[in-house]
Structure 1
Amino acid sequence: MEALFTSEPDPGYPGWNRWELHDSGRFLDTLGSVHVQPDVDGKARVRMVPGRQHSNMLNNVHGGAMLGFIDIALFAGAETCGAKAAGNAVTLDCNVQFLAGAVLDEPLDAVVEVLRETGRLIFVRGLVEQASGTIAAFSATLRKAGKR
């Protein structure tokens, strides 16, 4: 199956790969640039920088924008951790606990860990962080796409 995403070094963001969809104009574009890098202990770090377009009326990151970012981070993080075909998978379930508000114009990182991978499923968990601390916790199950 052809990969739908690429993860290649971004010269403008040293040490990070840009996670990019081959087909622009889709939901991923609403998040802006998404970057990934392997983290310690086999985890992956996925980053976006939220702007005004991601804000709520309190001038924090909107919960829907956070959920969208987490959903993208599941796939980008799992692939960066080495899960096979995670970029072509679908979300079966996702649980999120919001712990604090996220501020705008500051990097927002999802630290993603693959707990287990089977022939069809990928079990993932992680934390969303900013400089101020932990913003959210999440866990999800991804199902790899079947052959078309």
Structure 2
Amino acid sequence: MHPLIVHQPDPEHPGWWTWDVSGEERYNATIGRLLVRADGPGRARCRMFPGTLQSNLGNVVHGGAILTFIDMALFAGGKLAGISDISHSVTLDLACQFISPAELRIPLDCTVELLRETGRLAFMRGLVEQEGRTVASWSGTLRKGGERR
């Protein structure tokens, strides 16, 4: 685990853990609070709480905020789904299909399924859901242990 990530049980949401990156000056802070939990072998679930900061001019969640959420789920969810080491990993690719708009002030969940892990790569897929409705589907690949700068 990266030393700047605060990962501990969330007292307000039993069964969920925090995934907070220290420092509001980092890009990760743009999606707000992120929670994560294991969801069975090779699976995890991440949750964000979209508000006005994540909205677009149509007053729904901005697509860029959803993509950021998915990218962060590759790491947070990937770790809880069983990826051996995500420290200093990088996203190689991320494909996303937006299916329906996401409303503000209603939690968004991102399912993460670890499809395969090799020595250097981790392949995943999942859905972004809100109240049982599919908002987006995605697939992505991490390159593990990316070069530290």
* TM-score, reference length from structure 1: 0.91
Q: What SS does structure 1 have at the residue aligned with 2:106?
A: coil
1:84 and 1:25 map into 2 onto residues whose CA distance is 28
Q: Percent identity?
A: 51
2:9 and 2:88 map into 1 onto residues whose CA distance is 21
Structure 1 pair 144/23, CA: closer, same or farther in 2 (3 Å)? farther
Q: Counterpart of 1:12?
A: 12
Q: What SS does structure 1 have at the residue aligned with 2:7?
A: strand
Is the contact between residue 3 and residue 88 of structure 1 (CA under 8 Å) also seen in structure 2? no
Q: What SS does structure 2 have at the residue aligned with 1:36?
A: strand
- After superposition, the C-alpha distances for 1:67-93 in whole angstroms (9 at most, x for unaligned) are 111100111110011102224310001
* TM-score, reference length from structure 2: 0.91
1:14 and 1:108 map into 2 onto residues whose CA distance is 17
Gaps of 5+ in 2: none
Q: What SS does structure 2 have at the residue aligned with 1:68?
A: helix
How many residues align? The count is 148
Give, as a single letter, the amino acid of the residue that structure 1 aligns with 2:63.
G
Q: Counterpart of 2:75?
A: 75
Q: Counterpart of 2:48?
A: 48
Give, as a single letter, the amino acid of the residue that structure 1 aligns with 2:102.
A
Is the contact between residue 123 and residue 141 of structure 1 (CA under 8 Å) also seen in structure 2? yes
Q: What SS does structure 2 have at the residue aligned with 1:105?
A: coil
- After superposition, the C-alpha distances for 1:10-58 in whole angstroms (9 at most, x for unaligned) are 1122210000224542111111110001114531000001001111111
Q: Counterpart of 2:129?
A: 129
Where do residues 1-148 of structure 1 align in structure 2 (5 Å cutoff)?
3-40=3-40, 42-146=42-146, 148=148
